């Protein structure tokens, strides 16, 4: 049979439990008061008006697009590193000569139409102050001419180094130095090749796609985004 609990111990135990319950209910432990967290003020239905319930949520601002940046080129210099439009194949034939387009890869009819759409996209969005530089390869010059954004300037530092990577670092540095020497406003479109764009930005664009970048305060290229203007 269980041993009976002494009456005195039982009374003491009941009293302690009671004191603990009172302490918890009053927000105190022992003699130290515990501050109460203020409750959040929440309107009840009785406190609201029909206008409160029917008011539309505040509109969220539209995200800034690459086109938005190019339209603000009076505030900063932007460079559009555009890979030439569609030209089937890889590299160039063994008989390649810079002064003979017949020895090179050239734009297909689809590539010609793509180049025209790229130019139309720039005009439609009224991108002003555009300067167009091009690799001396025929597929780049043709892309730049078909875009019809202004006079096309051949620019040797953005010629392809696909066949000879020995000049990659030198040409990349020349492009970076050229951009740092330009006024800090406007849009420069450089129609060039995948290898050149990848060396400058680390991005592998498709034909007719561009990496848009700007010069940061340290004079370094900072990517703004990708642009597929023909889409």
Write out pLDDT tens, residues 179-214.
999 988 899 999 999 999 999 999 999 999 999 999
Q: Report how far residue 76's alpha carbon sits from residue 213's, in angstroms, rounded to the nearest whole number.
A: 11
State CA 212 to chain mean position distance.
Answer: 9
Q: Which positions ≥6 away from 79 have C-beta within 8 Å? A: 179, 187, 188, 189, 190, 212, 213, 214, 221
The domain that contains 150 carries what CATH number? 3.40.50.1240
Residue 54: pLDDT band with limits 50, 70, 90: low
- Of 137, 156, 159, whose CA–CA distance to 93 is shortest? 137
119-145: string of b/e by CB count within 10 Å (b at 16+)?
bebbeeeebeebbbbbbebbbbbbbbb
Q: Is residue 19 part of a domain?
A: no
Question: Which pLDDT score is estimated for 56?
Answer: 60
Q: Is residue 18 part of a domain?
A: no
- Of 122, 120, 123, whose CA–CA distance to 112 is shortest? 120
Structural domain count, the chain: 1
Q: Is residue 58 part of a domain?
A: no
Q: Is residue 27 part of a domain?
A: no
Q: What's the pTM?
A: 0.73
Q: Report how far residue 94's alpha carbon sits from residue 103's, in angstroms, rounded to the nearest whole number.
A: 8
* Structural domain range at position 216: 73-89+97-227
Q: Is residue 154 part of a domain?
A: yes
Radius of gyration of the chain (CA): 35
Q: Is residue 28 part of a domain?
A: no
């Amino acid at each position: 049979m269980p041993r009976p609990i002494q009456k005195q111990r039982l009374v003491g135990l009941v009293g302690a439990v009671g004191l603990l319950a009172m302490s918890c209910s009053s927000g105190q432990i022992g003699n130290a008061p515990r501050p109460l967290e203020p409750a959040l003020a929440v309107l009840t239905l009785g406190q609201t008006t029909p206008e409160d319930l029917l008011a539309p949520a505040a509109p969220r601002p539209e995200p800034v697009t690459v086109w938005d940046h190019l339209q603000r080129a009076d505030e900063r210099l932007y460079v559009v590193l555009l890979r030439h439009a569609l030209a089937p194949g890889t590299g160039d034939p063994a008989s390649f000569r810079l002064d003979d387009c017949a020895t090179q890869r050239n734009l297909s009819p689809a590539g010609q139409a793509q180049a025209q759409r790229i130019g139309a996209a720039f005009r439609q969005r009224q991108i002003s102050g555009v300067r167009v530089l091009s690799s001396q390869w025929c597929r780049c010059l043709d892309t730049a001419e078909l875009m019809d954004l202004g006079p096309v300037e051949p620019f040797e530092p953005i010629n392809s180094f696909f066949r000879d990577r020995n000049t990659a670092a030198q040409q990349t540095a020349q492009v970076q130095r050229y951009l740092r020497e330009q006024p800090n406003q406007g849009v420069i479109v450089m129609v060039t090749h995948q290898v050149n764009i990848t060396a400058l930005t680390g991005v592998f664009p498709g034909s007719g796609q561009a990496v848009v970048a700007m010069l940061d305060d340290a004079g370094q290229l900072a990517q703004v985004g990708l642009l597929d203007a023909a889409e």
